[in-house]
Amino acid sequence: MAKRLLTYENAVRWAPLLVLLALMLLFTAINPAFLTERNLARIAIAAAPALMVAVGVTFIIIMGSIDLSMEGSISLTAVLFCFAFVQFGGTLAAGAWLAVPLILLAGAGIGLVNGLVHVRLRIPSFMASLAIGFVCTGAAILVTGGDIVKIDDDVFRALLTWRILGFPLMVYVAALGVVVAWVILSHTRFGRHLYAVGGGEELAHASGVNVGRVRLVGFVLAGLFYAVAAILQVAKLGQAESVTGANFMFLSITSTVVGGVALWGGIGGAWNTLVGVLIVFVINNGMVVIGLPDYVQNGMLGVLVIIAVILSTDRRSISFVK
Amino acid sequence: MSTFIKDFIEKETISRRNFLLASAAGLTTAAIPGVFGGGAAQAALTDPAIAWSYRDRASAYWNSIVSGGEAFVESIGKPKDFLVNLINEGSSEKSLADIKAFLAKTNGNCAIACDANDSPNARPVAEAVQAAGGYISTIWNKTDDAHPWDFGDNWVSHMSWSDEKPAEQTARILIEAMGGKGGIVHLGGIAANNPAVERLNGLKNAIKDFPDVELLDAQPADWDTQKGAALMSQFLTRYGDKIKGVHCANDNIAYGVIEALKAEGIEGMPIVAYDGNPEAVQMVMDGQLLATVFTNPHWGGGITAALAYHAAIGSFKPSEEPKEHREFYGPTIMVTAKEAADFKAKYLDSVPTYDWTDHWGPSNGQIQYK
Amino acid sequence: MTFQRLKSHLPWITLLVLVAVVGAVDPTFLRPVNLLGLAGDIVPLFIMALGLTFAIYIGGIDLSAQSMANMITVMASLYLSSLGLWVAPLCIAVGFLLGTVSGYFTTRQFVPSFISTLAVGGVCFSMAQWLSGNRALNMDATQRDALFGWMIGRTGIIPNELFIAVGLLAICLFIERRTTLGRALKAVGAGELAAAASGLNVGRFKILAFAISGALAAVAGLLFSVKLSGGAPTIANGFLLPAIVAVLVGGTPLTGGVGGVLNTAIGTLIVAVIRSSMLYFGIEATQQQMVFGLVLIVAIALTIDRSKLRLVK
Amino acid sequence: MYELKGIDKKFGGVHALKHVDFHVKRGEIVGLVGENGAGKSTLMKVIYGAYQPDSGQILMDGKPVRFANPRQAMDQGIGMVFQEQSLIPNLSVMENIFLGNEKQFTRAGLFDWAKMAEAARHQLAKVRLDVDPRAPTSGLSFAQRQLVELAKVLTLEERIEGDLVILLDEPTSVLSEDEVKLLFKLVRELTNRASFIFVSHRMDEVMELSDRIYVMKDGAVVDVVARGQSTVEAIQHTMVGRSIDNEYYRETRQKPFDPKTRLVELDRVSLPGRIKDVSLTLHAGEVLCLVGTEGSGREAIMRTVFGMLSPLSGSVRLKGEPVQRPTPRHAVERGVGYVPRERKVEGIVAGMTIYENMTLSQMGRYATAGVLGTGAERRLARDWIKRMSIKAPSENADCGNLSGGNQQKVVLSKWRSGGSDIMLLDHPTRGLDIGAKQDVYTMVRDMSDDGVGIILAADTLEEAIGLSHTIIVLKDGAVQKTFDCTPGRKPTMYDLLHAML
């Protein structure tokens, strides 16, 4: 069975990566400073927390649902993380590392509540997660009273400041997160069940897949990744407040779709999300680096996103989208 | 849980009392001005409800504003939660709707302090307050063509801060630290916001005097820490070593800038900010920031409420006050390493007690239009 | 069976219960003036939600509505002096056109509406920034009053905005219930493939739905700029999520073909009541957002008719 | 070994199962027949655990059991082979086979894909299917999917110690004659391991395969027939409660068509993929049947006539006029009506009322300047509900709640009421019970009498032979042979099969 490389399927599958490379070439051609190790590291730092959010929401999108709770969820876990960190001694050298598992647990807990409201109350995920997002943001405001919570621990901040091969530690943490997500999605029962639910929920149910539980665990996992994102965001900025999670919602969902994860479920994976996030952040970085006027940037991002999505959609396999 | 219930009952009784008072007021004035509009001629109010309408509780700035409002409310012998919080979440639409709801609830028997969120929103807010016969004092956002004196007594005053001069001053401090030459980047607020425009103008004014200083780039970071960090790192790629100084439109952006530089291992970059938030003042003391500008939001929050309240109860009649008492600049205090410790002790560690009946004392002259 | 019958009326009932609850705490809330004023204030948001209903009714979403309204406030403020009354058709035409663009990318290029409308929103925002020169603009107050003053006045105790809202609602309701367009949109929402196999030009109807959404977002922006006598590229921020919430709470789920514009009217009122209930219950500032979220969950749980959702995704 | 005793199930006011007794012996093949709505599918759902009975007992080897969900039933050895389309398209073949049962292939939580592929090959061998277990399911043909479906259920063989009960729900509806034979052979071989419950509308197949046949009507078992103890006609009589016309396909009503009026002409049409140089002509009053295996191109040809597909080369003429830019809208305007195979997906819009569905293709007629006259629409719907004897409470009833036969009648009314005179019927009787089928056949003759030309893809060869004036046999996207089907000169099934294969 001779495999042809230049098939339509292959073109579609590799389109996001090609778009990414094309954009990088374009920006480099205009300003060679774009393709320097320093700048790539800058893009990586900016993208790392967003990547974790996007990976989290990828689980949800693959099963055909949507999650809009990330902004609230990140704000709340980031704020709680800072509180816990300070509470446990304020430095990793003391007991503050305890804050990490605690906050991962909190993130998973928020995801669980989200999932329960969605699955048990039978409220579509769009609405359930939107409302839970409001509640979480509200809770973050409540616990901070609107103040900024700072972390001043050089050991913890090594995530940002300690570089290996030119890239800070947090980039490797995010990369590890992607690998974990890839393993879960591609090589575990639960991961494959997510695809099954996304491909045909009723059919999966009839095959004995406990759809409710898969959904629930999906939301828990997403919450977990949001918590990782929150920790990275705190590592990046050294502080948390009730708006720490702002702007992540549209950013993360756009990124996953640009990378080739289908919003209707069942298609795509962790690598798609990685490429998608990189595309969006390369565009954001590149537009400033090549000196595009600020008022053009939003429009340009929109145009490029549409082009990327058009190129990476297998239009033969779908009859319509909504 | 029990405290929650207690709080709830307390609030319940207060709102009931408000209602009784409000209806009493409605009866005594024997006219319900809110109904048919045109309540401008209403006499002084008795025990008006007091509200602060502002953006959100997610920042130190608005927290200080509210703390000032609460301090004022306590100064007239009311509990802190007598002050009603109208939070607009950055939505002009909600700002207006909430204020109208408050006017309706109190039947116009109220004094409101307000930042209208976007300058065009100030006019309809003032119109609504005038129609209901309430009193309002505003800060920050209003268009140049709307003036309190065009609204009788009901739009008591508008306070703003002239950011151009202080921003120019911080810019000079910045340039001085740079040795009078090199490139500057400016990270601005939401581009269309008035303060964002003024703060950038201040920087531009300062640069005119220094031929060796170049404004490399100025882009909006939307008052946001995260955007500040991202934008700064992008500037670093574009301009690299050419950047010798950073001019930030507010403290939050500066936090992001400092972290972006920290990630690159760049230390000692001259940075100036604005707002004088506690964290920023600490950074000035630590040498991470050269300067920030304190606008005393605590006083602003208190005095704005006080102006509306006192006009409402008839302590003074706004229309008889001179124009510099209707539209004026708020105080600004430059905070550099020199003053930081003193400043912190005086304004942050312990909040000074203000005389809320001294309405215009610390103010800074009538607002000028170009 | 009786509960089944009740289900379609749940949005109404939820609204009435909410009004009654707030009224019980503070009877001033129930004064007609107050209720009418409350309804009048929510009109710009309602008009945007009305437009969104069309996008959501066919199973899509329109995230460009807020940026669209922003851009329109800028355009209206900018061109009022030179175009006069003609600024209104210009704004609506621009909204319609940009909605068409979103629709085109969604239906013909298979870009999910979530993405295409977000992208068009970005373009709108850029245009607003460029047109306004990145600053807040104000309308000439006398000209505004002369040309559009009727929009924001009062007739008796009824705010004129309500007449506009009711008029638009009536038009949309007529479109939805009595025109081929409305019927086609329902068919597209409930069974796109069957609609196509019946010979309907599905693509064109879908594009039209997004175009209507864009046009109504423009009307919302226009009304808002008249109300505020000015415009800015960010002035309508904070519209989008409440508008989406209004549509959803009204009982038009994102699965398409269920609900409609009347539901959105109720949903918008529910949002308005929940909002002002914060004031009447004296919810503390730091708690308001959280309470809003919790009430929202309860309201949605009450108002959606699950029997019409085959799958809950 | 498996027994149901006095099972009752109610939905709201509807008594779906009335005191049903049912049992399957070890190694037995039990047929289950009944009209649509007789309660077959409810009964099946009770058996495989999707529904829980309101009262009555489920016994396995004499012990009462209770299944809360299909999973628990599966663990007891009860498996279900669904009708087509119940595999998840974005998963690989092997993942579908072991879906819900993958634990055996995980090591430290991760899959051993090679081991799973090996096991999948073993399962596929059981059904004589040679496909790559790692291939995505979406690339398989209908028939292949059906066999994968069976392979999936047969994994129970390894999983369960005891006896198996396997439900086959309309397993043959998408299979070719040969594939049906293979399936039956497999099923018989497997009786040493499993018992089968076989549900089908094709009486001859049920008679051929089953040891005993349960006949259901109105939610109750009305008869149990042992092999060879009854005839198709007798069983059908019990099922329907009325006598079945010997003239099943209304052959006596087949009149010669009008060879002068050409409604559809395809001239050397080729489509991307498989259709090559297809030419055909449809005349007024003619029933033209396309016969071929799955994937031979029947559906593609219909969709080309309807304008959903555009030919790469060749021309399409509707009523003599060439079609320049084909769209469904254009086709509908020229009087083409399309009754698609996927009735629930493409035929009706669930959630819309009967009258809304009926006028969907012809809204223009009921609207002035885009405004609908619903009064006229309702009148039309009431008229056709009567004419087609559609069983529905009113014209306002939700189409999604009607039975399959009534839904099909709505689809047919939609086109007939709009005056369509070129009808494309893709498996119009699929999944319908005998009564509804006969109604459809009558309608076909009525339409022919009115001068309507019909292109038909029939459910069975008998149906094709019985109904047609002309049969075109397709193979691999090309016209293989054309048969004249004038009554008395009709080809035999053997003739057709010979041409097909």
Domain count for chain D, please give it.
Answer: 2
D298-337 residue pLDDT tens: 889 999 999 998 898 999 999 999 998 899 999 999 999 9
- Tell me, what's the pLDDT at A6? 67
**Are residue B106 and residue B172 in the same domain, yes or no?**
no
CA distance D37 to A175: 56
B90-106 residue pLDDT tens: 899 999 999 999 999 99
pLDDT band, residue C151 (cuts 50/70/90): confident
**Are residue D447 and residue D485 in the same domain, yes or no?**
yes
D353-366 residue pLDDT tens: 999 999 999 998 89
**Are residue B142 and residue B174 in the same domain, yes or no?**
no
In chain C, % of residues over pLDDT 70: 96
A215-253 residue pLDDT tens: 999 999 999 999 999 999 999 999 999 999 999 999 999
Domain-located, residue C24? no
Rounded mean pLDDT of chain B? 87
Domain limits at B9? 2-160+297-330
Which residue of C178, C195, C258 is in closest CB contact with D372?
A: C178
A55-77 residue pLDDT tens: 999 999 999 999 999 999 999 99
| Contact between B238 and A291 using a beta-carbon 8 Å cutoff | yes
Place of tokens 């928020």: A110
CB B95 within 8 A of CB B125: yes
Domain count for chain B, please give it.
Answer: 2
Domain limits at C171? 43-260
Domain-located, residue D120? yes
Highest mean pLDDT pick, B51-60, B173-182, B187-196, D427-436? B173-182
| Contact between C198 and D370 using a beta-carbon 8 Å cutoff | no
Domain-located, residue C102? yes
**Are residue B118 and residue B181 in the same domain, yes or no?**
no
- Tell me, what's the pLDDT at D171? 80
CB B277 within 8 A of CB B61: yes
* Alpha carbon of B45: minimum distance to chain A alpha carbons (Å): 33
C193 touches chain D (CB under 8 A): yes
- Tell me, what's the pLDDT at B26? 41
| Contact between D111 and A199 using a beta-carbon 8 Å cutoff | no
Domain limits at D66? 2-240
Chain C residue closest in CA terms to A122: C312
**Are residue D145 and residue D193 in the same domain, yes or no?**
yes
D223-267 residue pLDDT tens: 898 888 888 778 877 876 655 554 678 888 888 888 899 999 999
**Are residue D381 and residue D267 in the same domain, yes or no?**
yes
Domain-located, residue C3? no
Rounded mean pLDDT of chain D? 87
**Are residue B225 and residue B138 in the same domain, yes or no?**
no
CA distances for D234 relative to B81, C110, D431, angstroms: 85, 54, 21
| Contact between D348 and C191 using a beta-carbon 8 Å cutoff | yes
D224, amino acid identity = V
CA distance B79 to D308: 73
Place of tokens 């690998």: A179
CA distances for B68 relative to B51, B63, B83, C287, angstroms: 12, 9, 11, 20
Instruction: Residue D364: list chain C partners with CB under 8 A.
Output: 180
**Are residue D314 and residue D186 in the same domain, yes or no?**
no
**Are residue D138 and residue D287 in the same domain, yes or no?**
no
- Tell me, what's the pLDDT at D73? 87
What is the radius of gyration, based on Cα positions, of chain A? 20
Which residue among D208, D240, D272 closes a domain?
A: D240
C178 touches chain D (CB under 8 A): yes
CA distance A231 to A79: 10
Residue B27: pLDDT over 50: no
Which residue of A187, A199, A205 is in closest CB contact with D90?
A: A199
CA distance B169 to A279: 41
D356 touches chain C (CB under 8 A): yes
Tell which residue, A126, A137, A71, A123, has the closest CA to residue C298.
Answer: A123
Residue D461: pLDDT over 90: no
Q: Tell me the HSE value of A277 on the side-chain side, using a 13 A CA sphere.
A: 27
Domain-located, residue B346? no
A153 touches chain B (CB under 8 A): no
| Contact between C113 and A302 using a beta-carbon 8 Å cutoff | no
Q: Tell me the HSE value of C26 on the side-chain side, using a 13 A CA sphere.
A: 32
CA distance B313 to B304: 15
Interface probe, candidates C130, C237, C241, chain B, greatest B C-beta count within 10 A: C237
**Are residue D234 and residue D257 in the same domain, yes or no?**
no
**Are residue D323 and residue D366 in the same domain, yes or no?**
yes
* Alpha carbon of B85: minimum distance to chain C alpha carbons (Å): 6
**Are residue B187 and residue B266 in the same domain, yes or no?**
yes
Instruction: Residue B224: list chain A partners with CB under 8 A.
Output: 243, 246-247
Which residue of D69, D90, D113 is in closest CB contact with A195?
A: D90
Chain C residue closest in CA terms to D308: C197
| Contact between C115 and A254 using a beta-carbon 8 Å cutoff | yes
CA distance B190 to C234: 8
3-state SS assignment for residue C83: helix
Question: Which is it for the CA torsion A232, A233, A236, A237, positive or negative?
Answer: negative
**What is the total residue count of chain C?**
313
Domain-located, residue B361? no
A80, amino acid identity = L
A181-201 residue pLDDT tens: 999 999 999 999 999 999 988
**Are residue D258 and residue D157 in the same domain, yes or no?**
no
Domain-located, residue C27? no
pLDDT band, residue C308 (cuts 50/70/90): low
Chain A residue closest in CA terms to D107: A188
**Are residue B56 and residue B138 in the same domain, yes or no?**
yes
- Tell me, what's the pLDDT at B306? 96
Average pLDDT of C283-299? 90
Domain-located, residue C299? no
**Are residue B198 and residue B91 in the same domain, yes or no?**
no
**Are residue D312 and residue D234 in the same domain, yes or no?**
no
Domain-located, residue C57? yes
For domain A13-25+35-311, give the fold: ABC transporter involved in vitamin B12 uptake, BtuC (1.10.3470)
User: Which residues of chain A fall short of a pLDDT of 70?
Assistant: 1-6, 317, 319
B58 touches chain C (CB under 8 A): no
Ranges assigned E (strand) in D77-211 = 78-81, 106-107, 110-111, 164-169, 194-199
CA distance C221 to C236: 7
Per-domain boundaries in chain A:
13-25+35-311
Read off the DSSP letter of residue B180.
S
Average pLDDT of C120-147? 91
Tell which residue, B188, B142, B114, B127, has the closest CA to residue B369.
Answer: B142
B272-331 residue pLDDT tens: 999 999 899 999 999 999 999 999 999 999 999 999 999 999 999 999 999 999 999 999
Contacts (Cβ under 8 Å, ≥6 apart) of D487: D251, D252, D254
Question: Which is it for the CA torsion A115, A121, A126, A128, positive or negative?
Answer: negative
Domain count for chain C, please give it.
Answer: 1
- Tell me, what's the pLDDT at A159? 94
CA distance D327 to C167: 37
- Tell me, what's the pLDDT at A190? 94
Taking every pair of Cα atoms in chain C, the longest distance, rounded to a whole number of angstroms, is: 61
**Are residue B9 and residue B75 in the same domain, yes or no?**
yes
Which residue among D206, D240, D274 closes a domain?
A: D240
Burial of D374 (0-12, 13-18, 19+ CB in 10 A): middle
**Are residue D191 and residue D261 in the same domain, yes or no?**
no
CATH of residue D57: 3.40.50.300
CB A234 within 8 A of CB A216: no
CA distance D24 to D196: 8
Instruction: Residue B4: list chain C partners with CB under 8 A.
Output: none
* Alpha carbon of B197: minimum distance to chain C alpha carbons (Å): 8
3-state SS assignment for residue D321: strand
Look up residue A294 and give its two tokens.
Answer: 């600020």
Q: Which chains touch A (3 or more CB pairs under 8 A)?
A: B, C, D
CA distance D349 to B222: 48
Q: Which chains touch D (3 or more CB pairs under 8 A)?
A: A, C
3-state SS assignment for residue A150: strand
Instruction: Residue B104: list chain C partners with CB under 8 A.
Output: 28, 31, 33-34, 37-38
CATH of residue B209: 3.40.50.2300
Read off the DSSP letter of residue D92.
B
- Tell me, what's the pLDDT at B54? 94
**Are residue B106 and residue B147 in the same domain, yes or no?**
yes
Q: Pick D90 or D218 by higher pLDDT.
A: D90
Q: Tell me the HSE value of B359 on the side-chain side, using a 13 A CA sphere.
A: 24
